[in-house]
Amino acid sequence: MKRLFLLALTACLLTTAATAQLRIVPQPVEVKNGEGFFRLSPSTAIGLAGNNAEATRVANMLSKKLSTVTGYTVPVTGGAINMGTSNIILSLNTTANATLGSEGYQLKVGTAGAQITANTAAGLFYGMQTFLQLLPAEVEGGKKVENLEWKAPVAEITDYPRFGWRGLMLDVSRHFFTKDEVKRYIDDMVKYKFNLLHWHLTDDQGWRIEIKSYPRLTEVGAWNVKKEGRFNYFSKPEPDEPRNYGGFYTQEDIKEIVQYAKERFVNVLPEIDVPGHSMAAIAAYPELTSTPGTYQVNSGEKFMEWPPSGHFYGLIDNALNPANEKVYTFLDKVFGEVAQLFPFEYLHMGGDETARNFWEKSEDIKKLMAKEKLKNLDEVQSYFVKRVTKIVNSKGKKLIGWDEILQGGLAPGAAVMSWQGMKGGIEAAKQGHEVVMSPQIFTYIDYMQGDRLMEPLVYASLRLKKTYEFDPLPEGVDAKYIKGGQANLWTEQIYNLRQAQYMTWPRGFAIAEAVWSPKAGRNFANFVDRIENQFPKLDQAQTKWAPSMYEPDVKAAKGVKNVVVTLVPEVDGLDMHYSFDNSWPDQYYPKYKAPVEVPKDADKMRIVTFKNGKQVGRFMTISVEELKLRAK
């Protein structure tokens, strides 16, 4: 028994060591490490048997990528090709491998060549992403690199996803992202095996999709007044300020992006957020609300209260009127056009954060409640959701919405995206509904990812380590109802693609691992080691990422004479140095070892972190006044 235990332990350690050495994200199911390297050469070719169009596209993508950075011509060759002459073989299984499923792959790298085998072209695509991670970081640079040995370590990898729904949500309503920027976001996400883009297309700050039946949705609803600063604290726009900030996607733009995503095995889930979050639609068509008046697209000024109780209170009515039949005619036409543009089986109706204080005053809604025997506003919301579900189903689609659609009773066949923790998803699954987990406590990557003095202030904080704890499958829930999970990037405080990238990476790595990799063997220190190998690749690709994990949380408490500061690192192996004399510390300054008391006359503290002798954190400057506030 002892010998068997030691053999099992050795095998486990070898597998972990192999994964750590290869430093792949997300972590593969199985890795067998070898010795030596496979080297690309001017004679390297990509072999692909058969005439599968999708597999050919994958081979051509790999060819283009390798040819660009190596300067070699790496052709795609049909028919049989010898792996033993520094070639790369892409091969579709003639008999399906049940273990791999529809997205899994096997990658074998030997000293004489490499081979990726899969049941489908999607599997080849994900195997290609793993193979590219084995090459030097410069493979992501997009230009020829001289005098570099292009080599990948010998290994055998068997890999397949834990969940079929592996998503990132991009909010393009609060700030508009161009067609090319959305494509670039897709390019970044597929490298880490995400397969779904949840596209939040409408909200109070902008309507971003052309609806030909209602042209004012983009003529009026796509534009507001440009504001810079902190969302929800902006001044109210003046009447003469130009409403020229924003934009929208034509239906041809939508088709182009959907096709671009499809070629990279990404489904696109469109969200039309109703009945709340509808200010942009109401500004264009004010008859859709229960409160007559003139409306404008919100520019980030405060228009709603978010009390701790979670009962949202609108200062301006931003909700559609569920008692108005014109609303359902409107939604029938909108969802009809949307359904024609997006082949994915689901349409997202939003359904979150509806401020009902205006509904309470509406005579129309009171009449509706009496007519339909609706006891409360939860049931009014449910009535609306069920009407929308029928509309969506009539377009040949399934409906999914945020977990508020559970209130008052969930429509048959509707799926739930659980954002207010895991509770809504658990409840929906127990009722037999499909669920996508995206709880804000783990997956809201618009939240601050470091100490608040380093990040744009927003609703809450979410450290990388907490994100890594995300598991889409709660204990006691039938796995067949949990489709997977996703991270959500709301963009109230995100003005451009660079900041969107900064907020996504590295927390996106943690989400990728939660939805792709096996739950067993998860280890944060090992994860950090592997994602550090990705940072040079992000740099080469000119993708911005956040160094927040290298920067401590700054805690303060009252001491005997003055404030006492505690520095709490997120990752291991950091050397934290500090100063109180207004100078900029480096590795020769005092090293933090224990809580330190602020000197009597100091007015600020500066902190910087090093790892293995290299500066990895940004300079942090915090005033003593701020420390005193934190001490309270």
Residues tagged active-site: 203, 277, 353
DSSP secondary structure letters along 185-219? HHHHHHTTT--EEEEE-EETTEE-B--TT-THHHH
Q: How are beta strands 553-558 and 563-568 bridged, if at all?
A: antiparallel
Residues paired with residue 105 on neighbouring β-strands, in sequence order: 159
Task: Determine the Cα–Cα distance for residues 609 and 110; give it in Å rounded to an integer.
Answer: 40
User: Which runs of E-coded beta strand occur in 40-187?
Assistant: 46-48, 76-78, 87-92, 105-110, 113-118, 151-159, 165-171
Task: Determine the Cα–Cα distance for residues 2 and 6; give it in Å rounded to an integer.
Answer: 6
Cα 75 to its chain centre, rounded Å, is 34
Task: Determine the Cα–Cα distance for residues 57 and 242; give it in Å rounded to an integer.
Answer: 45
Cα distances (angstroms) measured from residue 488 to each of 206, 469, 528, 548, 550: 18, 16, 22, 19, 23
Residues 249, 208 contacting (CB under 8 angstroms):
yes
Among residues 114, 174, 149, 155, the alpha carbon closest in space to that of 24 is found at 155
Residues paired with residue 117 on neighbouring β-strands, in sequence order: 91, 106
Count of alpha carbons within 13 angstroms of residue 533, beta-carbon side: 19
Task: Record the tokens describing residue 454, joined without a space.
Answer: 């380093």
Residues 566, 552 contacting (CB under 8 angstroms):
no
Task: Determine the Cα–Cα distance for residues 549 and 465; give it in Å rounded to an integer.
Answer: 8
